[in-house]
Amino acid sequence: IWRQTGTQSISSGSWTDVTGNWEQSDQTFSGSLGTAVSQSSGIFTFPDTGIWLIEFVFTALADTGDSTYNELVLHTTLNNSSYDDAAYAYCGNFFNSEDYRSSGNGSFIFKVSDTSTHKCKFRNYAVGNDVEFKGNSTINLNAFTFLKLGDI
């Protein structure tokens, strides 16, 4: 599990790559098996070929009013250069007496047959108002899980 530890501000109407404030989940009860997926500036590299399940969740906050929708998109590449949309997670913000919050989640099964060229990254988008995609170093608010399902 990788997660963002800091908040990322997104201007309404602009795509923003999720590039920084990354850490692997470090709670004492977190578990992993084998070599973990690595990342550099938000580009994730797989340690082994195989069939990989990628799950993601995000939490957004709009302080100034309701946003039409927020989204987090998983982008994959097969050539380590051009990225294509693989999975979207959408949500609209709702008012909870102090601010406007939302969360969304998505998943994708990715066939990784070449670890040097098959990679992924995430992008955020907001419509309606500027939002903050919330990060935290002790819980998973914006979190990305990579689970190897099997060999190919």
Tens-digit pLDDT profile for residues 66-120: 556 778 899 999 999 999 999 998 876 655 556 667 778 999 999 999 999 999 9
Return the number of other C-beta atoms located less than 10 Å from residue 80's C-beta.
13
The CA-based angle 35-36-42, given to 5 degrees, is: 145
pLDDT-above-70 percentage for the chain: 86
CA dist., res. 139 & res. 133, Å (int): 14
Higher-confidence residue: 87 or 124?
87
Question: What pLDDT score does 65 carry?
Answer: 59
**Residues 6+ positions from 90 with CB-CB distance below 8 Å:** 69, 70, 71, 104
The answer, yes or no, to whether residue 64 has pLDDT greater than 90, is no
pLDDT at 99: 63
Instruction: Give me the residue label for tokens 């500036």.
Output: 41
Query: For residues 5 and 103, which has the higher predicted lDDT (pLDDT)?
Result: 5
Whole-number average pLDDT of the chain: 86
Say whether pTM exceeds 0.85: yes
CB neighbours of residue 119 within 10 Å: 24
* pLDDT tops 60 at residue 14: yes
On whether the CB atoms of residues 85 and 75 are closer than 8 A, the answer is yes
Arithmetic mean of pLDDT, 121-132: 83
